[in-house]
Amino acid sequence: MTRKRNPTGRPQPGEYADYAADDIALVPGDDAIAALVQLQRETEDLFGGLDAPSGEVTYAPGKWTIKQILGHLADDERIFAYRALNIGRGDPRPLPGFDENLYATGAEFDRLSLDQLLADYVAVRQATLSLLRGFPAAAWTRRGTVSGYAATPRGLAFHIAGHELHHHRVLHDRYLPRLRTLSAPD
């Protein structure tokens, strides 16, 4: 018989970076796992509905392409899930930050198709969910240090969800209008 899992609870200030507070506030509910499951559906719908040329679009010079955003979501999640793993398992060592622009450049996401990037995103999400579903209750609120700030696995999981919602908003507000402009008849 499978036991019903209790919600993770919402993180409190001090469980995540101050800069992530606005994004985390956008995450509905009190369960990081439920939020990540729902967001996977939304992300698959959002990116899966785009055609191949759309992946190359950016809304302004110097901004990431849609492909780069999708690749960035997977990379960011990998890093934050690794951080949650370290802290959740009780590793006391501080974890470093990372440069998202350096990662995006080094990954060369634009050489991959949207389908490949979306498949990678799904694989990463499934690995994250597997990790988080296996956490014992005490792991969610263990404390550690990430890039100079205090964090818990719960805060990091909500950060993944809030970060994804942030990029959904940017896509809806800036990229999709640009796509409509590019596809409009002259």
Which amino acid is located at 89 in the chain? R
Residue 34, in any domain of the structure: yes
Residue 46, in any domain of the structure: yes
Residue 114, in any domain of the structure: yes
Number of domains making up the chain? 1
Give mean pLDDT, residues 72-94: 98
Give the span between the Cα atoms of 186 and 182, in whole angstroms. 9
pLDDT tens per residue across span 113-146? 999 999 999 999 999 999 999 999 999 999 999 9
> For the domain that residue 62 is a member of, what is the CATH number?
1.20.120.450
Residue 64, in any domain of the structure: yes
Residue 2 has pLDDT above 90, yes or no: no
Give the span between the Cα atoms of 69 and 74, in whole angstroms. 9
Residue 155, in any domain of the structure: yes
Residue 186, in any domain of the structure: no
Residue 1 has pLDDT above 70, yes or no: no
Band of residue 14 on the pLDDT scale cut at 50, 70, 90:
very high
**What DSSP letter does each residue of 107-161 carry, written as one string?**
HTGGGS-HHHHHHHHHHHHHHHHHHHHT--GGGGG--EEETTEEE-HHHHHHHHH
Residue 10, in any domain of the structure: no
What pTM did the predictor assign? Answer: 0.95
Residue span of the structural domain in which 46 resides: 18-22+30-180
Residue 185, in any domain of the structure: no
